Structure 1
Amino acid sequence: EQIEVEASSIKLDNEKLKVDLDDCKNSESAKDQTIAELLQDQEEVRKEVNRLEILHKVSKSDISELSESINELQSQLDECRKNEAMSSEKISALQQIEMETSSIKLDN
């Protein structure tokens, strides 16, 4: 009878160990799945970082080009204002000459 009790106890211990082993295998499988998902996420993040780095480089290039365009346009605007000022001076001078010419004609 004692042997039967011990055998029964051993069987229970054995069943418990089998359950623990199954739980351990399931846990290990879940960990492996989580690791695989994390590795996939890491790869997606790496790709996104690369994409953002490319966008940053393109943006810097675009900003540089825009800055050059702005400088060129500012230079053209300055030249235009300079020419406008010279034209205004010429118009004033021509008006002055016209007035003097009219005055001379009236005197004659």
Structure 2
Amino acid sequence: EQIEVEASSIKLDNEKLKVDLDDCKNSESAKDQTIAELLQDQEEVRKEINKLELLHKVSKSDISELSESINELQSQLDECRKNEAMSSEKISALQQIEMETSSIKLDN
């Protein structure tokens, strides 16, 4: 009878060990699944980072081109202002000559 009790106890222990082993396998499977998902997430994040880095490079390039355009436009504006100032000086000089000419005519 004691042998039957021990055999029954061993069977219970075996069943318990089988359940524990199944739980362990399920746990490992869940961990493997989680690792696979994390690796996939990591890949997606890396792709997004690459995309953002590319956009950053393009933005820097665009900013550089815009800066060059602004400098060119500023140069053209400075040239226009210079020409405008020269034109104003010429107009003033012509007006001065007209006044002097009119004054000379009146004197005669």
TM-score bracket, normalised by the shorter chain, equals over 0.9
| Alignment TM-score, normalising by the size of structure 2 | 0.97
Runs of 4+ in 1 over 6 A off after TM superposition: none
Structure 1 gaps, min length 5 = none
State the alpha-carbon separation in 1 of the partners of residues 105 and 25 from structure 2. 117
Shift of 1:57: 0.8
State the alpha-carbon separation in 2 of the partners of residues 102 and 63 from structure 1. 57
Shift of 1:49: 0.8
What SS does the corresponding residue of 1:57 show, helix, strand or coil?
A: helix
Shift of 1:29: 0.8
State the alpha-carbon separation in 1 of the partners of residues 10 and 47 from structure 2. 55
Shift of 1:68: 0.3
Shift of 1:105: 1.6
Shift of 1:59: 0.6
What SS does the corresponding residue of 1:93 show, helix, strand or coil?
A: helix
State the alpha-carbon separation in 1 of the partners of residues 104 and 32 from structure 2. 106
State the alpha-carbon separation in 1 of the partners of residues 68 and 2 from structure 2. 97
State the alpha-carbon separation in 2 of the partners of residues 19 and 101 from structure 1. 120
Shift of 1:12: 0.6
State the alpha-carbon separation in 1 of the partners of residues 4 and 44 from structure 2. 59
State the alpha-carbon separation in 1 of the partners of residues 39 and 106 from structure 2. 98
Shift of 1:92: 0.6
Structure 2 gaps, min length 5 = none
Shift of 1:38: 0.5
State the alpha-carbon separation in 1 of the partners of residues 53 and 61 from structure 2. 12
